[in-house]
Homo-oligomer: A and B are copies of this chain.
Amino acid sequence: MTTTLRTAVVIGCGTTGTSVALALGFTGVRVTLIDDDPRALDEAVSLGAGTAWTPGLPPADLVVVATAPSAVVDVLHSAQSRGLGHVYTDTAGTKDIVCAEAELRGCDLKGYVPGHPLAGSDAPARDDTAAAGRFTGRPWVVCPFETTPDWALETVDALIEACGAYRIDLAAHVHDRIAAELSHGPHLIAAALATRFADSSEAFLKLAGNGLRDAVRSAGGDPWLWGDVLAHNAGPVADVLDRVSAQLTRAAAILREGDACAPLELAPTLEEGRRGQAALQRVAERRTLRDAPAGERM
Separation of A293 and B188 alpha carbons in the complex (Å): 37
Q: Are A190 and B273 in contact (CB under 8 A)?
A: yes
- Would A274 and B211 be within 8 Å (CB), given that A227-B262, A255-B235, A279-B197 are in contact? no
Q: Are A220 and B279 in contact (CB under 8 A)?
A: no
Q: Are B204 and A178 in contact (CB under 8 A)?
A: yes
Is A294 interfacial (CB 8 A cutoff)? no
Residues of B within 8 A of A109 (CB): none
Q: Are A269 and B120 in contact (CB under 8 A)?
A: no
- Would A212 and B263 be within 8 Å (CB), given that A188-B248, A192-B273, A195-B272 are in contact? no
What 1/0 mask marks residues of chain A from 193 to 209 whose CB sits below 8 Å from any chain B CB? Answer: 11111111010111111
Is A271 interfacial (CB 8 A cutoff)? yes
Q: Are A270 and B235 in contact (CB under 8 A)?
A: no
| Smallest CB separation, A228 vs chain B (Å) | 6
Question: Which residues of A from 239 to 291 have beta carbons under 8 Å from B?
Answer: 239-249, 251-253, 255-256, 258, 260, 262-264, 266-267, 269-281, 283-284, 287
Question: Which residues of A from 200 to 231 have beta carbons under 8 Å from B?
Answer: 200, 202, 204-221, 223-224, 226-228, 230-231
Is A102 interfacial (CB 8 A cutoff)? no
Q: Are A242 and B234 in contact (CB under 8 A)?
A: no
Residues of B within 8 A of A27 (CB): none
- Would A284 and B210 be within 8 Å (CB), given that A231-B262, A273-B192 are in contact? yes
Is A182 interfacial (CB 8 A cutoff)? yes
Q: Are A279 and B118 in contact (CB under 8 A)?
A: no
Q: Which of A141, A251, A270, A275 has the most CB of B within 10 A?
A: A270
Q: Are B230 and A255 in contact (CB under 8 A)?
A: yes
Is A119 interfacial (CB 8 A cutoff)? yes
Is A139 interfacial (CB 8 A cutoff)? yes
- Would A186 and B215 be within 8 Å (CB), given that A245-B249, A281-B220 are in contact? yes
Residues of B within 8 A of A283 (CB): 202, 205-206, 208
| Smallest CB separation, A208 vs chain B (Å) | 5
Q: Are B198 and A269 in contact (CB under 8 A)?
A: no
Is A45 interfacial (CB 8 A cutoff)? no
Residues of B within 8 A of A281 (CB): 213, 217, 220
| Smallest CB separation, A277 vs chain B (Å) | 4
Residues of B within 8 A of A246 (CB): 245
Residues of B within 8 A of A231 (CB): 255, 260, 262-263, 266
Separation of A188 and B267 alpha carbons in the complex (Å): 11
Residues of B within 8 A of A243 (CB): 196
Ranked 10 nearest A-B pairs via Cβ? A191-B273, A120-B209, A227-B263, A194-B276, A211-B218, A197-B276, A223-B270, A198-B275, A214-B214, A234-B255
10 residue pairs of the A-B complex, CB under 8 angstroms, read: A194-B277, A195-B272, A216-B273, A219-B270, A234-B258, A235-B256, A239-B252, A242-B252, A245-B245, A245-B248
